[in-house]
Amino acid sequence: MKKLHYHLVDVFTDRPFGGNQLAVFSDGWGLSPQVMQQLAKEINFSETTFVLPPQDPGNDFWVRIFTPAVEMPIAGHPTVGTAFVLGREKLIDQTGPETMIHFEEGVGVIPVRVQWQNGQPGLIRMSQPLPEFGPEFPDRKLIAEMLSLEPDELDPDFPLQVVSCGLPFLYVPLKNLAAIRRARLRLDLWEKQLKDFASPHLFLLTAETELKNSTVHCRMFAPALGIVEDPATGAASGPLGCYLVKYDRRPPTHSTGSGRAADRHKKQMSFISEQGFEMGRPSLIHIEIEQENDQITAVTVGGQCVFMGEGYFELSES
């Protein structure tokens, strides 16, 4: 029998039983994609990761990410949580207060910065691909019905639009917390009307928040990925920040360049997204968007993690 060791982590939280659950197999060498998928389905978290040697020796690790149903080209909380486990297991060298590593994922190479606190990984930030703004969904009444809401509960000032930083999501702005709390996805309408759209994943947002330091309150539904609702969606948080910047839904303060002529047109905006409150798993995701001459030039998503436990599977080597 072959023992497969895994770690359990809560991601995008600083306390146990918050954030998004993740299982990390820090040594995925020799496992077929079929077995990886079966293990992810057995664990049944929103995602499970497998760490392998890099295909390019210039990178640090190859990370494969699976939901219970499919392999993902990129995902936020699996990237952040995997870096946390590798740091905790001393598989990342601590060369100073911050270490840069590079993960190979389905969309390409993802830079990840690990900040250290007393020899342990603290805040972890991943870079994401630059945004692609996709089509708008034209039927607001249909989306409201799909979410078991009234059409006037959608924010009329902002579009229903697909945005991607490696994985596309349909962003649906709502007027207030009351509306986002009431939302219930109707799978019958989703199956008929959205499953084959440019993105079948619904990301709800409102500027009214639970916590005073948060920028936006969110929920995410992704039945196409085998995820009814997700408590923290890092892959959607980068595009969320880009959406907020594009439609000028930015926080009241944001940093700019140093004042030098070369930096006058550079901006860095920070957001905090709260998610998972309706699921009893509150999550906080830090988002940074950099702009130069009104063009987005960098997207970063990060947060903290909590180690929850470990175990192993026994599989026959035949």
Which residue ranges make up each domain of the chain?
2-130+304-315, 132-302
Give residue 252's pLDDT.
43
In 12-151, beta strands by DSSP E? 20-25, 47-52, 61-66, 71-72, 98-105, 108-117, 120-128, 132-136
Residue 280 gets the label, from left (phi > 0), alpha (psi -120 to 50) or beta, of left
22: exposed, middle or buried (C-beta count within 10 Å: 0-12, 13-18, 19+)? buried
User: So what's the pLDDT on residue 168?
Assistant: 97
What stretch of H or E contains 309? strand 305-315
| pLDDT confidence of residue 205 | 98
* Helix, strand, coil shares, percent, the chain, to 5: 20, 40, 35
189 close to 142: Cβ distance less than 8 angstroms: yes
pLDDT at 131: 98
- Architecture in CATH for domain 132-302: Roll (3.10)
Q: Which residues are catalytic?
A: 47
CATH numeric code, 2-130+304-315: 3.10.310.10
Q: Going from the first residue of the chain to its last (318 residues), give the mean pLDDT of each consecutive group of 10, the final group possibly shorter.
A: 94 97 96 96 96 97 96 96 97 93 97 95 97 97 98 96 97 98 97 93 97 96 92 97 87 51 75 97 97 94 98 87
Whole-number pLDDT of residue 251: 55
Beta-bridge partner residues of 128: 299
132-302 has the same fold as 2-130+304-315: yes
Instruction: Tell me what pLDDT residue 253 has.
Output: 42
pLDDT score of 191: 95
Task: List the beta bridge partners of residue 125.
Answer: 113, 302
Burial 123-143 (b: 16+ CB within 10 A, else e): bbbbbbbebeebeebeebebb
For residue 262, the model assigns a pLDDT of: 53
pLDDT in tens, 38-83: 999 999 999 999 999 999 999 999 999 999 999 999 999 999 999 9
What letter does residue 154 receive in the DSSP assignment?
A: B
